[in-house]
Amino acid sequence: MKRMFFLFVMAIVLSLATPGRASAQSCTAVATDLNFGTVSPISRASSAATSTVSVTCTWPAVTLVPNAQICLNLGGTSPRQLLNGTNQMQYDLYSDAGHSVSWGSTAAGTTPISFTMSKPALSTTLTQPVTVYGQISANQPTVPSVGNVSTLYTQSFSGTQTSLNVGFYLLGTGLACSTLAASGTFGFSANATVVNNCNISATNITFTPAALLNTALTASGTITAQCTNGDAYKITLDGGSNGTVGARNMLRTGGATIGYQLYIDQQFATPWGDGTAGTSAATGTGTGLAQVMSVYGRVPAQTTPAPGTYTDTITATISF
């Protein structure tokens, strides 16, 4: 009886320790795409977004290794690039909300995302979502759109660039990621849409004071446009507060006026307006940087009205 009892106990111990029983544990990972939405490079601001990698581990009802060390590896170099053809926009993926630890892999000598999971007491399956943090770098104003429309930039991570490494154990604080074998992959992509956008500003035009208007007066100001690289734009000027695009007037309190005109060119040959009444709009293509255009003003010789300060307010509109 003693011999039979001893052999029975040994059989149980050996069966619990065999690799076949240990391999009953397994984990899989599924990732969602990381979508930055629309971004405007000329804002020079960074853009942030998140995605999720969900890891599901399954154990048999009885196991000697209820703990799992999970390591999510992401290949490639840091920082990363979202691409549209040969155009690129710099960004990176991080394991923390502060964007301080880039997501990497043990194979590249960088830092994978690492955590532990433990078998629930009343279940054989556990799913743990892990947040991945993405950030597009600030100060990239020259990132272009293509074809004068909103443009999608992407980077895809296939199975060869990702790996789920898993190790099961009984007790302790976990296992080193470098010691674990790959147990699967999880493909996903990151994307952002670069939108056409423009900013516009202007300086005033001030004519030199004159006692008589028997000769023409000239002056100039500037309009500054900053548009997405590759974005075609048009700038129109309205007729002001006191006239039309073809016949502008500066007004003095009390009602007297002085006629004048604004021009695209220094030769005063092309009146700057909205395309009507013999005027033209200024056009250009954005570079992502500020583009400064001169506005040339001319007061032709005319009967001099009563002394005073004469003004007009013009609205410049940029279309893109």
CA 85 to chain centre: 17
- Whether residues 92 and 141 share a domain: the answer is yes
pLDDT for position 173: 87
Q: Domain holding 76: CATH number? A: 2.60.40
Residues 204 and 190 grouped into a single domain:
no
The whole-angstrom separation of Cα 135 and Cα 113 is 17
Kindly state whether residue 274 falls inside one of the protein's structural domains: yes
> Token digits for 152?
């999608």
Which domain-ending residue is among 194, 217, 250? 194
Which amino acid appears at position 264 of this protein?
I
Rounded Cα distance between 247 and 22, Å, is 89
In contact, 213 and 301? CB cutoff 8 Å = yes
Boundary residue ending a domain (194, 210, 233): 194
Same-domain pairing of 297 and 230: yes
- How far apart, in whole angstroms, are the C-alpha atoms of residue 230 and residue 200? 16
Q: Is the same domain home to 111 and 173?
A: yes
Same-domain check for residues 171 and 208: no
How confident is the model at residue 174, as a pLDDT? Answer: 87
With respect to residue 16, please indicate whether it lies within any of the assigned structural domains: no
The residue segments making up the domain with residue 226 are: 198-319
Say whether 161 sits in a helix, a strand or coil.
helix
The count of domains in the chain is: 2
Task: Kindly report the CATH number assigned to the domain that includes residue 296.
Answer: 2.60.40.1090
Q: Does 32 share its domain with 163?
A: yes
Helix (H) or strand (E) holding 16: helix 2-17
* 67 within domain boundaries: yes
- Quick one: 219 and 285 in the same domain? yes
Domain identity same for 286 and 304 = yes
Sheet containing 217-227: give its strands across: 198-202, 217-227, 290-299, 257-263, 248-251
Q: Is residue 5 part of a domain?
A: no
| 129 upstream amide cis, omega within 30 of 0 | no
Instruction: Say what the pLDDT of residue 160 is.
Output: 87
pTM above 0.75, yes or no: yes
The model's pLDDT over 243-292, given as tens digits with 9 standing for 90+, comes to 999 999 999 998 999 999 999 999 999 999 999 999 999 999 999 999 99
* 259 and 171 in a common domain: no
Same structural domain, 179 and 209: no
Strands 34-39 and 188-194: what pairing? parallel
**Could you say which residues of the chain have pLDDT below 70?**
1-23
- pLDDT of 23: 57
Tokens of 314: 């013009």
Specify whether 42 is located in the same domain as 147: yes
